Amino acid sequence: MKQHDTIAAIATAPGVGGVGIIRISGDKALEICTKLCHKVPKPRQALFAQFKHNKQLIDEGIVLFFPNPHSFTGEDVVELQGHGGPVVMNMLLQAVLACGARQAQAGEFSQRAFLNDKIDLVQAEAIADLISSSTEQAAIAAQRSLQGDFSNKVSEILKKLIGLRVWIEAAIDFPEEEIDFLADKAQQQKMQDLHQSLKDLLAKAQQGELLNKGVMIGIVGQPNVGKSSLLNLFTRNETAIVSDVAGTTRDVVKENINIHGIPVLIIDTAGIHITEDKVEQEGIKRAKQILKQADIILQVIDSSQDVEKQKQNLADLPFSKRKVTVYNKVDLITNKQNPEDNEVVLSAKTKQGFEELENKILHMINSQGDIESSFSARARHITQLQKTVENIAIAEHNFLNNQAGELVAEDLRQAQEHLSQITGDFTSDDLLGEIFSSFCIGK
C-alpha cells in the first residue's frame, strides 16, 4: 500500500546525546535531503554534509540514503545524523518539515514497514517490545520475535490448517466422492496434530507474554509475620519499613525487580486481620485486591507461632491460582516441618531458603521449561490463539465424530481468520491504529 506523504521525526531519544538522528521516509526524502545538504548522497554510503536552511547553517554531520524498497519502511529513507542536542535537533526537524515533510505520528515508520510488507504485525510489535524491554531475557525474547521465530511458527500452523481446509472444502464440493470422507485416518491424524501444535504454541506464547509484561507477585499474611522483611530480601534493599510492631505496613509497597531475567513487580501488603482501625481496614482492602490481581501469591506464615490458626485465618481469602506458602522465621524454631511442593521453609533474617523460594517461583513461571528459547508475545496474540484453539477443538470433535463436513469447514475457516490476525494478514484498520499508536515517535 503506497503512502503519499513524506514523514519525518527525531529518531533518537529526547535529551542530550553525542549524536541525534532525524529520519525521513517517503517520495520526497531525497529531494528534502538535497535541499538541506546541497549534495546528493549515494545509496547506503555515509556522506559528510552541512545542513543549511534559508542559507543559515544549522548543523553538520552524516547523511545516509536508503532507496526504496531496500529500507526499513520500504520507501525512500534519509537519515540526517547531527549533534544530539534537543534545540539543534528541533531546528533541523523544523527545516525538514519546512522543505515538505510532515511530522510522523507515533509508530508511523513501523506502520509503513508493515503496510509495505517489510515486516509482519508480530515483528512490528516486537520492535516496540524490544525498545521497552526491562530485562535482558525480555530483550532477547523480543529480538527472537523480531527475527520471525513467532511468525514462522504461526505460518507453519497456518499452512497445515489451510491444507486441511482445502481438503475438506474439496470433499464437500464434490459430493459424488463423499464416501464417509471424515473417516479418513490420515486426515484425522493431521487434525489432531494441528490441535496439538496450536496448544503448544499457545503455551509458548503465554510464556512469552509473561516475559514481556512481567509477573505480578503479591506477598500476603497476618501482621508481623515478616512480609516486609521478605520484600526487602527480593529488592536487596530496605524498601519497606520492618518493625516488631504489628500493623507496620498499612499500604501496598511495589517494586520492580527481576528474578533470573524475568521482570517482576513485587508487592508487599498490610497484614490481614480483623481491626477497627480505619487506615488498617483500607490497607487490608487493598491487600485483598492484590490477592485477586497477582499472578503468584506468597502466603507468609510465622512458623514460630500457631501455624494452623494462621492458615485458618487466611483460608477464606480469594487467592490467585498460583500460591506458595512461605513458613518464615524458621531460625526461631527447632522442630522443622517437611515442606510440600508449593511450600518453602525460610528465614528472612538469615536468608535460609530464599534461593529455594526464587527457584520455586521461577519454576512456576517457567512451566514450559524453556524460557531461554522464548519469543515475546502480547495479550492480543494470546486471545487470538485461544480463539483458534477453541475453533480447532470443535472442528476436531466434529471431525472425529463424523459430523457434517460443513460444520468442520466452518470452524476451520474461523480458526484461520483468528490465526491470520496475529501476523496481520487479516486485520482491521482500527486494530492497526491501536497497535501502532502505542509506539514511540520516530519508530
Query: Contact 36/95 with Cβ under 8 angstroms?
Result: yes
> How far is residue 349 CA from its own chain's centroid?
35
Query: Contact 6/438 with Cβ under 8 angstroms?
Result: no
Spell out, one character per residue from 418 to 437, where the chain touches Mg ion: x when CB under 5 A holds, - when not: --------------------
Query: Contact 326/298 with Cβ under 8 angstroms?
Result: yes
Question: Of these, 6, 222, 249, 416, which contacts Mg ion (CB under 5 A)?
Answer: 249
Q: Does 228 bind Mg ion (CB under 5 A)?
A: yes
Bridge partner residues of 56 (DSSP):
53
Q: Measured from the CB of residue 250, what is the shortest distance to ligand GTP in angstroms?
A: 8
The percent helix, strand, coil of the chain (3-state, each to 5) is 50, 20, 35
Q: Which is nearer to ligand GTP, 2 or 311 (CB)?
A: 311
Scanning 163-171, 240-248, 393-401, 430-438 for contacts with Mg ion by CB under 5 A, the matching segment is 240-248
Q: Which is nearer to ligand GTP, 135 or 222 (CB)?
A: 222
Residue 71 contact partner, candidates ligand GTP, Mg ion, none, CB within 5 to 8 A by sort of partner: none
> How far is residue 214 CA from its own chain's centroid?
8
Residue 348 contact partner, candidates Mg ion, ligand GTP, none, CB within 5 to 8 A by sort of partner: ligand GTP
Name the residue number minimizing CB distance to ligand GTP: 271
Measured distance CA(268)–CA(242) in Å, rounded: 11
Residue 131 contact partner, candidates Mg ion, ligand GTP, none, CB within 5 to 8 A by sort of partner: none
Instruction: Decide: residue 382, CB within 10 A, 0-12 exposed, 13-18 middle, 19+ buried.
Output: middle
Q: Which is nearer to Mg ion, 104 or 357 (CB)?
A: 357
Q: Which is nearer to Mg ion, 166 or 332 (CB)?
A: 332
Measured distance CA(261)–CA(427) in Å, rounded: 33
Q: Measured from the CB of residue 221, what is the shortest distance to ligand GTP in angstroms?
A: 6
Bridge partner residues of 220 (DSSP):
299
Q: Measured from the CB of residue 325, what is the shortest distance to ligand GTP in angstroms?
A: 14
Type of residue numbered 280: E
Q: Which is nearer to ligand GTP, 32 or 287 (CB)?
A: 287
Q: Which is nearer to Mg ion, 186 or 245 (CB)?
A: 245
Residue with cell 509458548: 204
Residue 12 contact partner, candidates Mg ion, ligand GTP, none, CB within 5 to 8 A by sort of partner: none
Q: Measured from the CB of residue 131, what is the shortest distance to ligand GTP in angstroms?
A: 36
Q: Does 325 bind Mg ion (CB under 5 A)?
A: no
Instruction: Decide: residue 54, CB within 10 A, 0-12 exposed, 13-18 middle, 19+ buried.
Output: exposed
Q: Measured from the CB of residue 268, what is the shortest distance to Mg ion in angstroms?
A: 6
Residue 107 contact partner, candidates ligand GTP, Mg ion, none, CB within 5 to 8 A by sort of partner: none
Residue 331 contact partner, candidates Mg ion, ligand GTP, none, CB within 5 to 8 A by sort of partner: ligand GTP
Q: Measured from the CB of residue 299, what is the shortest distance to ligand GTP in angstroms?
A: 12
Q: Measured from the CB of residue 251, what is the shortest distance to ligand GTP in angstroms?
A: 10
Q: Which is nearer to ligand GTP, 99 or 346 (CB)?
A: 346
Phi and psi of 184, rounded to 5°?
A: -60, 110
Measured distance CA(126)–CA(120) in Å, rounded: 10
H/E segment holding residue 428: none
Helices and strands counted in the chain (H then E): 14, 12
Q: What residues line the site for ligand GTP (CB under 6 A)?
A: 221, 223-229, 242-244, 246-249, 271, 328-329, 331-332, 347-349
Q: Measured from the CB of residue 307, what is the shortest distance to ligand GTP in angstroms?
A: 14
Q: Does 224 bind Mg ion (CB under 5 A)?
A: no
Bridge partner residues of 8 (DSSP):
24, 103
Q: Does 111 bind Mg ion (CB under 5 A)?
A: no
Q: Measured from the CB of residue 315, what is the shortest distance to ligand GTP in angstroms?
A: 18
Q: Measured from the CB of residue 294, what is the shortest distance to Mg ion in angstroms?
A: 16
Q: Which is nearer to Mg ion, 228 or 303 (CB)?
A: 228
Residue 23 contact partner, candidates ligand GTP, Mg ion, none, CB within 5 to 8 A by sort of partner: none
What is the bridge-based pairing of β-strands 215-221 and 296-302?
Answer: parallel
Query: Contact 262/210 with Cβ under 8 angstroms?
Result: yes
Give the chain's length. 443
Measured distance CA(437)–CA(443) in Å, rounded: 11
Output the nine-digit C-alpha cell for 287: 491487600
Q: Which residues bind Mg ion (CB under 5 A)?
A: 227-228, 248-249
